[in-house]
Amino acid sequence: MIAALLQAAPKSPVPLYVVGVYLLLLLGFSILNSRRARGSAGEYFVASRSIGPFLLLMSVFGTTMTAFALVGSTGKAYDSGIGVYGLMASASGIIHSLVFFLVGIRLWAIGKRFNYVTQIQFFRGRFQSDLLGYLLFPVLVGLVIPYLLIGIVGAGAVVKGIAGVPTWLTGLVVCGVVLSYILTGGVRAAALANAVQTIVFMLVGILAFTLISGSLGGLEQATQNVVDNTPQLLAREGEIGHLQFLSYCFVPLSVGMFPHLFQHWLTARSAKTFRTTVIAHPIFIMIVWVPCVLIGVWAAGAGVEAPGGNSNAVLAKMVGMQLKNPWVSGLLMAGILAAIMSSLDSQFVCLGTIFTHDIVVHVTGDRFDEAQRVTLGRVFIVAIVAVTYVLSLFPPPNVFDLAVWCFSGFASLFPLVVAAVYWRRATAAGAIASVLVAGGTWAALFYDGLLGPTLAGEKIGEDYLIGGMMPVTVMIAASTAALVVVSLLTRPPSGATVDRFFDEGSTNEG
């Protein structure tokens, strides 16, 4: 596979040697470590709920930081300036940790107590509704698949930009490598690989920042170029609206409904395991995002033109233009692939888990034993990887624009998970209404803001806003209203259900 990569590359093969060695080391490390694990379903799907603080931090952070964090952040800063950091990074540092603390720890406790493996199992149990499970299944899978596409297409774009390898081949290699280790070790292999990959992409981000600033004449000269040529990128005025900035804070609420993150939460050994993740997450975001945002504005200041008008290709172009050393380019390529694969692996495992538990096992009952469930999970994972790979061969024209719509879709379901863990009066009818309204609102706005203009052949330029606000604001308001109104108009959940999920042990106290 790697030999095919080398033959297909018209540029220096050295970066591909570096990436090849990295991928082989990653594969060896993941497979070697995951083979030590026991082969039960509990091990394969939730790592026997035994993951410690460091691995949880690395797997949660690595999963949260996608291709968008490196490639998209640079491109967005190239377009909109340094305000992108406040818009997407520092807000996430506060809100992600808030969600981990207030929602993640509770879901971990409920998952452990009732032996849940997926989000849908929890919602079915909490609302005593099969219909809600069948409704959530296509919604969650439908939102994860574009998220996967962003990763595979992003990997292809980066490797093509730096080494000239065709995108179909990069997608095949990335899918093959990820598949190799998650088939062997499930969610534990994903967590171990994420730990390695998170360290790699953080170090590589710092390396890129140092080398690119050096190639531009040093930190001061790189910023002076921006002062001289594109000073508007040094502030938010004229680039980002006040309401847009404030309403963007709703987007990071999406982490509360990511099914792949839910699965990582369930792997925690104890509630205390979350402490490191809650505290370190904002700092880790800063370490990744500050360099990327600066590289983006420096590229604009240096007059670098976005290839084909696509600002998401700016990072690859900066690496290719500024860093003539192919070994360094190879390291940077490995780092970017690490960020991408550390999200893909968790998403693939989670979709396999959802198909196995929420459809097959739920419908057939105890027909399959533990070993058969693991086999089913593996079969589904292979099928999902194959489908996603084929879809990636026909990428939509605005694949990175899909990211914020994906996150907005998950965020629109956030009121549901908050009500499920904090509001006793929330009913199944209210939950179903909330999902339907969230889905309907999302679909209408998505068509108006992205799909319609794309089908009409229009170029997507400015952010799509409603009254100056991000569309996620409307989605969350609508789904919350539906949840509250319908819950209050319908019969409260049974006392047994309330007693099961709400008692004094599951509360916060000082």
Partner 1 sequence: LALHYDNWGDRSVVFGFLPIGLLFQALISIGAAHIEEWADE
Single residue of 2, 145, 206, 246 touching partner 1 by CB under 8 A = 246
Among 93, 166, 307, 453, binds partner 1 (CB under 8 A): 93
Considering the rule CB under 8 A, would residue 116 count as an interface residue with partner 1? no
Q: Should residue 354 be labelled a site residue for partner 1 when binding is judged by CB under 8 A?
A: no
Q: What letters, b where the CB count within 10 A reaches 16 and e where it falls short, cover 363-388?
A: eeeeebeeeebbebbbebbeebbeeb
Q: How far apart are CA 393 and CA 308, in angstroms?
A: 19
How far apart CA 501 and CA 302 sit, in angstroms, is 57
Token pair in block for residue 29: 């490390």
Stretch that binds partner 1, among 131-139, 183-191, 242-250, 456-464 (CB under 8 A): 242-250
Using rule CB under 8 A, residue 302 touches partner 1 = no
430, 483 in Cβ contact below 8 A? yes
Q: Does 108 bind partner 1 (CB under 8 A)?
A: yes
Residue with tokens 């460091």: 54
**How far is residue 408's CA from residue 333's CA, in Å, rounded to a whole number?**
29
Interface with partner 1 (CB under 8 A), residue total 51
Tokens of 345: 């692996």
Q: Is 164 in the site for partner 1 (CB under 8 A)?
A: no
Minimum Å gap between C-beta 297 and partner 1 is: 8
Give the span between the Cα atoms of 497 and 377, in whole angstroms.
30
- CA 347 to chain CA mean position, Å: 8
Task: Select the residue interacting with partner 1 from 22, 61, 78, 85 (CB under 8 A).
Answer: 85
| Closest to partner 1 by CB, 367 or 507 | 507
Residues 289 and 212: beta-carbon distance below 8 Å? no
Least Å from the CB of residue 83 to partner 1: 7
User: Taking Cα atoms as reference points, which of 178, 162, 183 lies closest to residue 71?
Assistant: 162
Paired strand residues for 51: 268
Tell me the backbone φ, ψ of residue 33, rounded to 5 degrees.
Answer: -75, -40
303: contact with partner 1 by CB under 8 A: no
Question: CA-CA distance, 354 to 138, in Å (whole number)?
Answer: 10
- Which lies closer to partner 1 via its Cβ, residue 13 or residue 125? 125
- The piece of 87-95, 185-193, 430-438, 471-479 that touches partner 1 (CB under 8 A) is 87-95
Q: Hey, what amino acid is at 139?
A: V
Single out the residue of 1, 6, 39, 113 in contact with partner 1 (rule: CB under 8 A): 113
What is d(CA 173, CA 381) in angstroms, rounded to the nearest whole number? Answer: 16
* In the block, residue with structure tokens 């370190």: 280
Compute the chain's Rg from CA coordinates.
22
Q: Nearer to partner 1 by C-beta: 219 or 382?
A: 219
231 binds partner 1 (CB under 8 A): yes
Interface with partner 1, residue 42, by CB under 8 A: no
* CB contact at 8 A, 116 and 266: yes
Q: Which of 237, 305, 369, 448 binds partner 1 (CB under 8 A)?
A: 237
Binding flag, residue 504, partner 1 (CB under 8 A): yes
Q: Is 328 helix (H, G, I), strand (E, B) or coil?
A: helix
* 242 lies in the site for partner 1, by CB under 8 A: yes
Among 94, 382, 436, 477, binds partner 1 (CB under 8 A): 94
Of residues 12 and 270, the one with the C-beta less far from partner 1: 270
Residue from 106, 126, 260, 317 binding partner 1 (CB under 8 A): 106
In the chain, what is the straight-line distance between the N-terminal and C-terminal CA atoms, in Å?
A: 55
Regarding 290 and contact with partner 1 (CB under 8 A), the answer is: yes
Q: Does 83 bind partner 1 (CB under 8 A)?
A: yes
* Token pair recorded at residue 403: 């990211």
Between 11 and 275, name the residue whose CB sits nearer to partner 1. 275
Which residue's CB is nearer to partner 1, number 289 or number 405? 289
Contacting residue, 36, 366, 509, 510, with partner 1 by CB under 8 A: 509
Out of 219, 359, 436, 451, which residue is the one contacting partner 1 (CB under 8 A)? Answer: 219
Q: Does 424 bind partner 1 (CB under 8 A)?
A: no
Residues 37, 60, 105, 402: which binds partner 1 (CB under 8 A)? 105
Q: Quick check: 279 binds partner 1 (CB under 8 A)?
A: yes
Nearest to 59 by CA among 196, 228, 247: 196
Spacing of C-alpha 237 from chain mean position: 29
- Report the interface residues with partner 1, using CB under 8 A: 82-83, 85-86, 89-91, 93-94, 97, 105-106, 108-110, 112-113, 219-220, 222-223, 227, 231-232, 234-237, 242, 245-246, 249, 270-272, 279-280, 282-283, 285-286, 290, 293-294, 297, 503-507, 509
